[in-house]
Each structure stands twice: as structure tokens, then as C-alpha cells.
Amino acid sequence: MRAIVCRQFGPIDDLVVEDRPSPDLFPSCVRIAVNACGVNFVDALFVQGKYQIKPPTPFVPGMEVVGRVTEVAPDVEGIAVGTRVFANVGLGGFASEAVVAAKRVMVLPDNLSDGQAATFMQSYLTAWFALVERARVEAGKWLLVIGAGSGVGLGAVDVGHALGLRVIAVASTDEKRRLATERGADAVIDSRLTPDEIKEKAKEISGGGVDYIYDPVGGELGETSLRALTDDGQYLVIGFVGGIPRLPANQVLLRNRRVTGVDWGGWAGKNPALNDRMLAQVLELIAQGRLRPVEPVTYALDDAARALHDLEDRKVAGKIALVP
């Protein structure tokens, strides 16, 4: 098989392409010929040794794969060779095939393309976990999504709209704002404005303040956007692409605002049954057409390093998938 390998933690450009023997098929597992693998910001963190979990090297990055089952272990029931499936492999997705535990494999709705299926899970389950499990949002309230042109941001816009929220999307280009509008954003703001201007526009659009902020960016924009919250508003900490924000505690106290951490990955590892239920809920809404994951930009498998760079540099609207 062909695979992208991180031999040691370091620059993304140190990734190498290798032809490797096919992995062994272990009991209770299936083999998948990979049609597409999602590319996420966390993959770049893994490669550079910047993530809190550091796998032993060498390793193959990549978490979300879609493909056809080509082999099934003798003790596996209910999955047939030839079935198109999705799987979260943890690591090992940037390859032409993958072996994964059968219990982690799911048959896909027909209305999801390979690219959509390979790129929806992290974004949509993070958004669902944040808005439903952590924030317990109420329909009709205002949600401000920062970084709304990214895959994680677009997922939040789509989920927020499906939950009946009024969504304001902050994104940097016409293309990213168009994608957010197509997924239900009620209003958009150009993220190239100053943080103060973005804050004031959000307050103006929402009639005085938003009820929830979904922030995968952080940095100065996150610090300033906190002030766009209304009384008892909730700031959801998703990530720190723009740096870890220094949230002013006095602004939390004086308006009874709440700051809530959102670590879907860590929670899912501790609560697999609840996570499976959440995934089933999201897939059902996708099957109904109420959620519409974006079609990703695709790169050849050998171009994994360029794909990760383009993701980090925010050159792509929406999601990226590698196609072996």
C-alpha cells in the first residue's frame, strides 16, 4: 500500500511517501480500500509534535477514511465485502488502505459523497457536542461563529441552523461567507475587519449581543468577541488557531457570562456509547437533508504536505480530503 509517513516530529515538509506492505488483518477487523481521507488541523499538530497526545514514531497520520470493504475477519458479522463504509481510524488514514476494528465502521447514507463522508465527522461532532451537550442551546437565540469559513466553522453554522439558532458567521473571503450563507447563516461579517469592528457588528446584528460564541480561532479576536455576549451569554472554547486568548475575567463576572471548554475528542474516548449515539443523530439529520456537509477540496495522497500547509494557511474554504 501507499502511505504518508511521519518518521519523527518536525516540519510538515518532512513527511515522506512510502510503499509499505499491506497491514495484517486482525480478528474483529475489516480491511478498507481507501477512497478518501479527511485532512484536519489536528493532523498537522500531530506531525509537528504539538498535540497533547504524541504517538510513537514512525506513524501514518489521518483519522477519517471512506472506502470499500475488501476483506473481513472470520469473526466479523454484518459487514460484507464491497460495502461502502466510513471509519474513524484514530491514526493511519493517509494511506491507500486501512485495517480497522469492525465496531468502528459505519455504513454511509447514499446522499453523502466519498469526500463529504471523509470530512464531516470531526467538524460536525465537535459542533453537535458543543451546541447540544455543552451549551444546551435554545432555538431562536443568536450564535456567533468565528472562523466560519473553515470546516469546523461551517459545521457549526450548519448544525446551529438545524437547531433553530440565528447564526452570524465571521469569515475572511467572499467564497467562505457564501458557503456559510448556503448553510444557513442569517448574517455574515468580514473577519478582515478589526476585532472591535467585528464585535460591534455582531452586537448590532443581534440587537444588543449574541447568546453563544463558537470560537475555534482564539487570539485577539476571541478576547474581544467575548464582549459581544449578552448577559448570561456563553463562550465556547473550541481551539486556538490564532493563539490562546487571554479572556478578561472581569467581563465574565460583570455580565454573568459563562466560558465553556469543548474537547470532543477527549470526551468521545471516555464515552464511546454516548458518542456513537451522537454520531447516529448527526447521520440521521444528514440522511434527511437537514445537515449538508460541504464537498471538500481534494488533493492527491502524495500532496499531503501541501494540503496540510494550505489548511494551516487558511487558503481553502471548507474542508480538504486526500484521494489515494
- Note the pLDDT of residue 241: 85
- Note the pLDDT of residue 173: 94
* Region for 49 from its dihedrals, namely left if φ exceeds 0, alpha if ψ lies in -120 to 50, beta otherwise: left
Q: Identify the residue with better confidence: 42 or 322.
A: 322
d(CA 125, CA 263): 11
Rounded to the nearest integer, the mean pLDDT of the chain is 95
Decide if pLDDT at 310 tops 90.
yes
- Note the pLDDT of residue 111: 86
d(CA 91, CA 43): 9
- Note the pLDDT of residue 14: 97
Give pLDDT tens digits for 118-176: 999 999 999 999 999 999 999 999 999 999 999 999 999 999 999 999 999 999 999 99
Cell 465556547 locates to: 236
pTM of the prediction? 0.91
Burial (CB count <10 Å: 0-12, 13-18, 19+), residue 111: exposed
Kindly list the strands in the beta sheet with 229-237, ordered across the sheet, starting from the edge strand earlier in the chain.
187-190, 166-171, 142-145, 210-215, 229-237, 258-261
Burial (CB count <10 Å: 0-12, 13-18, 19+), residue 14: middle
Decide if pLDDT at 108 tops 90.
no
The rounded Cα 270 to chain-centroid distance in angstroms is: 19
- Note the pLDDT of residue 290: 95
Decide if pLDDT at 314 tops 90.
no
- Note the pLDDT of residue 1: 96
Residues 145, 170 contacting (CB under 8 angstroms): yes
- Note the pLDDT of residue 279: 93
Work out the percent of the chain whose per-residue pLDDT is above 70.
100
- Note the pLDDT of residue 3: 98
